[in-house]
């Protein structure tokens, strides 16, 4: 009554080379976002005059700072130690023990901060309005984000919490538990996992990477592209730029906040807010009041999105509406 992680899936594109599918997924994500961005520039919107060279420059700015922000957040906030604070030169050093390992560990929220900063620098230099840029870029981001979460799944990382459901999946690299613990035996018995008391077993978990790929990726993309974007275009005279950007921040933050309950918090951090009666082990869902760092950052995203929407509504372009002249009755 559970699923084993597919053995035929390898994180490496070519076994003899240190090129991972996760890196390929990043390229597919960026490529997808660029294609959707250019489609909007060519057909509609405030950026329909932007040429291809300028578009590539914009993406160089945003992607470059996205990677920097994602890496900084991952090492300085999620690492759980002071190592990178005391060894900052190691943050972007891709070698360990004489081997090339790339830059393992990227934070989505850090990537958002980096991309926004890169977009701001581009807008400042090339005289564009930042929210016009973000509204056009951000509509396609969720579809690109889908590839990133699929890359996490292929890597067998960022697994979910332990579950006794039939679609729970056993990830080879996930921590195992001793069957001397009562809750471990209860779940193992529920799913029909064979063991001898005292064994160490790897219990099935929620495939949270796939949940995120669908809801934060495909679902959010469909909502933005086919509902929010047409509505924002239809009522463009009633608000300024930023409606799509704000909707993305609110939508992603809310969806990710909920899905974090299915995903195990980083073991080195655990829960940042522990208001539930029980918060150990973090591999089990105990209470909605136990909040992870990812959920805190998602709440900040939601608040930022609401602020952007309010700003967009208040910055609506003023249109001149001639008043109707009163008819003057003339005597016969």
Q: How far apart are the first and last CA of the chain?
A: 94
64 vs 71: CA distance, rounded Å:
11
Q: Is residue 107 part of a domain?
A: no
Q: Report CA 284 to chain centroid distance, whole Å.
A: 23
Whole-model pTM above 0.75? yes
**What is the percent of the chain where pLDDT is above 70?**
94
The pLDDT value given to residue 95: 84
User: Residue 233's domain spans which residues?
Assistant: 3-47+128-314
Q: Is residue 66 part of a domain?
A: no
Q: Is residue 321 part of a domain?
A: no
Q: What is the mean pLDDT of residues 108-114?
A: 96
Q: Is residue 101 part of a domain?
A: no
Q: Is residue 283 part of a domain?
A: yes
Tell me the per-residue pLDDT of 10-22, one tens digit each, with 9 for 90 and over. 988 887 777 788 8
Residue 201: strand pairing partners: 177
Q: Is residue 213 part of a domain?
A: yes
Number of domains comprising the chain: 1
The pLDDT value given to residue 232: 93
Q: Is residue 93 part of a domain?
A: no
73 vs 104: CA distance, rounded Å:
12
Contact 250, 138 (CB under 8 A): no
The pLDDT value given to residue 267: 85
* Per-state percent for the chain, helix, strand, coil, to nearest 5: 55, 5, 40
Tell me the per-residue pLDDT of 213-234, one tens digit each, with 9 for 90 and over. 999 999 999 999 999 999 998 9
Best CA proximity match to 162, nearest among 263, 302, 234: 263
The pLDDT value given to residue 318: 53
Q: Is residue 326 part of a domain?
A: no
HSE, CB side, 13 Å, CA atoms: give it for residue 240: 14
**What is the percent of the chain where pLDDT is above 90?**
77
Structure confidence at residue 46 as a pLDDT band (50, 70, 90):
low
Tell me the per-residue pLDDT of 248-306, one tens digit each, with 9 for 90 and over. 999 999 999 999 999 999 888 999 999 998 988 999 999 999 999 999 999 999 999 99
280 burial via Cβ count (<10 Å: 0-12, 13-18, 19+): exposed
């Amino acid at each position: 009554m559970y699923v084993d992680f597919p053995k035929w899936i390898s994180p490496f594109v070519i076994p003899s080379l240190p090129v991972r599918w996760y890196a390929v997924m990043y390229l597919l994500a960026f490529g997808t976002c660029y294609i959707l961005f250019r489609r909007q520039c060519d057909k509609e919107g405030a950026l329909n005059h932007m040429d291809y060279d300028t578009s590539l420059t914009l993406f160089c700015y945003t992607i470059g700072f996205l990677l920097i922000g994602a890496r900084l957040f991952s090492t300085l906030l999620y690492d759980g130690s002071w190592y990178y604070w005391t060894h900052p030169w190691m943050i972007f050093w891709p070698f360990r023990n004489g081997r090339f390992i790339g830059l393992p560990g990227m934070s989505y929220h850090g990537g958002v901060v980096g991309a926004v900063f890169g977009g701001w620098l581009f807008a400042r230099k090339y005289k564009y309005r930042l929210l016009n840029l973000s509204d056009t870029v951000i509509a396609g981001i969720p579809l690109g984000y889908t590839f990133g979460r699929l890359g996490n799944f292929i890597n067998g990382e960022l697994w979910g919490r332990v579950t006794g459901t039939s679609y729970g999946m056993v990830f080879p690299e996930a921590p195992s538990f001793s069957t001397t613990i009562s809750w471990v035996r209860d779940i193992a018995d529920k799913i029909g996992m064979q063991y001898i008391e005292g064994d160490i077993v790897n219990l099935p978990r929620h495939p949270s990477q796939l949940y995120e790929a669908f809801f934060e990726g495909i679902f959010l993309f469909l909502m933005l592209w086919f509902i929010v974007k047409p509505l924002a275009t239809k009522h463009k005279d009633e608000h300024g730029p930023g409606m799509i950007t704000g909707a993305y921040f609110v939508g992603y933050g809310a969806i990710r906040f909920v899905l974090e309950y299915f995903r195990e918090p980083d073991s080195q951090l655990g829960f940042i807010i522990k208001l539930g009666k029980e918060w150990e082990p973090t591999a089990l869902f105990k209470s909605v009041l136990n909040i992870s760092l990812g959920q805190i950052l998602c709440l900040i995203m939601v608040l930022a999105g609401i602020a952007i929407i309010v700003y967009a509504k208040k910055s609506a372009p003023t249109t001149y509406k001639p008043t109707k002249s009163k008819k003057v009755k003339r005597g016969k």
